Amino acid sequence: MSNQYFREYRNLTLSLTSYIETQVLANWSNITVVKAYPNLEKVTLPVISVRVPVVATEFIEIGSRQTRVVYTVYVDVFAKSDPQREDLTAFLVDTILVDCTYNTYAKDPADATKIIATPAGKVVFKQFNENSNLDFGEETDVYDRYRQFISYDVEIALSA
C-alpha cells in the first residue's frame, strides 16, 4: 500500500465515474460524464455528473473498533429535453444496480500526468435514496430545465 497514491474515497469516486462513463459511451453518443459538479458554462448538454459527497462510518458492533463505511453517491442528469432526461435516468438506474469494479489508482511512474487503474474489488450497490425530477419551472436556466437527481449508497468489497 505504500506506493498507492490515492486513498479509498478518491479511488471510489474515480471508479464510479469511469464505470458510468464507459457504460454511457457504449450506449449513447454526445453525452459528457464528469466527476464532481460540472462547470456548466464550459460544457454542452447533456451532462451526467458523479459525486460522492457523503461518507458514513459506522462501528460494526458495540465495543468494536471495526468499522464499515457506506458512501452516498449523487448523480445529476442535465438533459436537453424531458424525454431524454427520462431515458437517461432509466438507463442510469439499470447501470447503477450492477456492481462495478473498484480500482485503486496511482501515478504512472513513466508519465506523472497519467494515472494507472488496478482492479482491487467491487463497488457494491446497497440502496437507492432518491430519484427525483428537479422541476424548477419553465423560467429556469437551460441547464436546470430538464434535470434529474439520483442518490444511492454503496460499499466497497475489496478482493482478498
Provide the H-helix boundaries in the chain. 8-27, 82-96
Region label for 137, one of left (φ > 0), alpha (ψ between -120 and 50) or beta (otherwise): left
Question: Among 149, 151, 18, 153, which Cα is nearest to 76's?
Answer: 149
Which of 15-19, 37-41, 52-56, 119-123 is the least confident region? 37-41
Mean confidence (pLDDT) of the chain = 90
pTM: 0.89
| Per-residue confidence (pLDDT) for residue 139, from 0 to 100 | 79
Alpha-carbon dihedral sign for residues 153, 160, 98, 105: positive
The confidence score (pLDDT) of residue 144 equals 84
- Domain ranges in the chain are 8-158
Give me the mean pLDDT over the 142-155 stretch: 92
Distance CA 24, CA 91 (A): 9
Alpha carbon of residue 91 to chain centroid: 14
Q: In CATH, what class is 8-158? A: alpha beta
